[in-house]
Amino acid sequence: MSTGTLEVAAEVHDTFPINGTDYIEFYVGNAKQAAHYYRSAFGFQLVGYRGPETGVRDRASYLLQQGKIRFVLTTAIRPDLSPDAKRIAEHVQTHGDGVHDIALWVDDARDAFAKAVERGAEPEKEPLVLRDDDGEIVTASFKIYGETVHSLVERRNYRGLFMPGFVAVSPVYRPPEVGLLYVDHCVGNVELGKMNEWVEFYAHVMGFRNLLTFDDKTISTEYSSLMSKVMANGNDRIKFPINEPAKGKKKSQIDEYLEFYQGPGVQHMALATDDIIETVTMLKHRGVEFLTVPTTYYDDLQKRVGKIDEPVDQLAALGILIDRDPDGYLLQIFTKPVEDRPTVFYEIIQRKGARSFGAGNFKALFEAIEREQALRGNL
């Protein structure tokens, strides 16, 4: 496969079928306030809760939903009451607010877990059956990079809201949604020399294929560079780009992340929309801050990417980037970090046929990131 191009379609044998991303769980310092941020800024709806009022004494979790996206925000209330709560508190102490679990929806959690472990995955939690009046859910999990895990969630015998232990909530405050539909991909940052190790993990343990490869010549600026490989399952519903730093004149964005997160973890999640102009306009009005590129980026844009449906002046006013591959084009924009630590951020993406990840925008994007790094004194 040539660098920066899509792999030619090949026969893929997933270790186990994956239906999609089930949920993403964050460990946070204050879940109630974090939930309010994602509701007011990103338009998520608070639909479920688990905590002391439901009989769980050591932690609280808020279930947020928009389209097919489910975020679970969990905080430790009494770390002294259980090993799990202690681990949540220690995770936040070390990393700040961050992603702990990228959960995958499967048909048979026991079988998927057994196959993953047989192929070398390190177990996190053995299969567990959770029951209530709405049926049962089977979950299991195994470790990936850093302190991140993949949970496997089997829902075929459950009719309830989310999973046993959560109760439905209907708050008065219900801000309008912003048009976010599903998780397009989740990006992990790992240490220098570890990218190929995790590429092999996803290939061998889960049967994923290397969809795209970017080397340090593709993703580079005058000062820094990185390397990235995109792993995808057979139906392309799950895509995990994995980044590692490369040598440069100054500190790369991956180095900055690893320093402040104190290890590998999830760098950003790409959330899909079918109207990026409307979505980004609403997000900006709610206070979400985005990276900006020079207005010269839009000079002769259509000569570079061809005809597009969206008005270029509106894209330029919002700072939305455009790139094309053989299957179509995409529009994308990246938030600034959503916390004081320069770690987690979001990508808003609209695909109009394109299957790639915006390689034509890398230089402009990373120069924008470097400007923010310089302001923080971390370049």
For position 90, which CATH number holds? Answer: 3.10.180.10
Q: Are 245 and 114 in the same domain?
A: no
List the structure tokens of 24: 């993403």
Inside any domain, residue 55? yes
Residue 53 one-letter amino acid: E
Picking from 219, 271, 269, the residue whose alpha carbon sits closest to that of residue 245 is: 219
pLDDT score of 342: 94
Please state the φ and ψ torsions of residue 234, each to the nearest 5 degrees: -60, -35
Say which residue the tokens 């002046």 belong to: 313
Inside any domain, residue 7? no
The residue from 143, 168, 193 where one domain ends is 168
List the structure tokens of 269: 């999640």
Residues β-bridged to residue 125: 141
Inside any domain, residue 8? no
Q: What angle do CA 160, 163, 168 make, to 5 degrees?
A: 60
Q: Are 28 and 136 in the same domain?
A: yes
Helix 253-261 / helix 362-376 crossing angle, nearest 10 deg? 50
Distance CA 238, CA 68 (A): 14
Distance CA 244, CA 286 (A): 33
What H or E segment, with its residue span, contains residue 113? helix 109-118
Q: Are 207 and 331 in the same domain?
A: yes
Per residue in 74-113, pLDDT (tens digit) is 999 999 999 999 999 999 999 999 999 999 999 999 999 9
Q: What angle do CA 150, 214, 97 make, to 5 degrees?
A: 40
pLDDT score of 53: 95
Q: Are 153 and 295 in the same domain?
A: no
Distance CA 314, CA 123 (A): 48
Tens-of-pLDDT digits for all 379 residues of the chain? Answer: 334 544 444 445 789 999 999 999 999 999 999 999 999 999 999 999 999 999 999 999 999 999 999 999 999 999 999 999 999 999 999 999 999 999 999 999 999 999 999 999 999 999 999 999 999 999 999 999 999 999 999 999 999 999 999 999 999 999 999 999 999 999 999 999 999 999 999 999 999 999 888 765 655 555 556 788 999 998 888 999 999 987 766 677 888 999 999 999 999 999 999 999 999 999 999 999 999 888 888 888 888 889 999 999 999 999 999 999 999 999 999 999 999 999 999 999 999 999 887 666 766 666 666 777 777 786 6
Q: Are 69 and 213 in the same domain?
A: no
Inside any domain, residue 2? no
How many structural domains does the chain have? 2
pLDDT score of 299: 85
Q: Following CA atoms 327, 187, 378, 318 in sequence, which dihedral angle do they give, to the nearest 10 degrees? A: 50
Q: What angle do CA 266, 268, 271 make, to 5 degrees?
A: 130
What H or E segment, with its residue span, contains residue 101? strand 98-106
Q: Are 83 and 118 in the same domain?
A: yes
**End-to-end Cα separation, the chain, in angstroms:** 32
Is the separation of the CB atoms in 188 and 243 below 8 Å?
yes
Q: Are 99 and 156 in the same domain?
A: yes
Distance CA 166, CA 62 (A): 9
The residue from 124, 148, 168 where one domain ends is 168
Inside any domain, residue 334? yes
| Residues whose CB falls within 8 Å of the CB of residue 23, separated by 6 or more in sequence, listed in order | 63, 70, 71, 72, 101, 103, 153, 162
Distance CA 31, CA 64 (A): 11
Q: Are 146 and 247 in the same domain?
A: no
Q: Are 237 and 213 in the same domain?
A: yes
Is the separation of the CB atoms in 103 and 151 below 8 Å?
yes
Residue 280 one-letter amino acid: V
pLDDT score of 5: 47
Distance CA 12, CA 339 (A): 38
Inside any domain, residue 3? no
| Residues whose CB falls within 8 Å of the CB of residue 337, separated by 6 or more in sequence, listed in order | 343, 344, 345
Residues β-bridged to residue 322: 331
Q: Which domain holds residue 365?
A: 180-376
pLDDT score of 368: 67
Q: Are 237 and 149 in the same domain?
A: no
The residue from 168, 202, 221 where one domain ends is 168
Inside any domain, residue 46? yes
Q: Are 221 and 104 in the same domain?
A: no
156 SS3 class: coil
Inside any domain, residue 12? no
Q: Are 186 and 149 in the same domain?
A: no
Say which residue the tokens 């994602």 belong to: 38
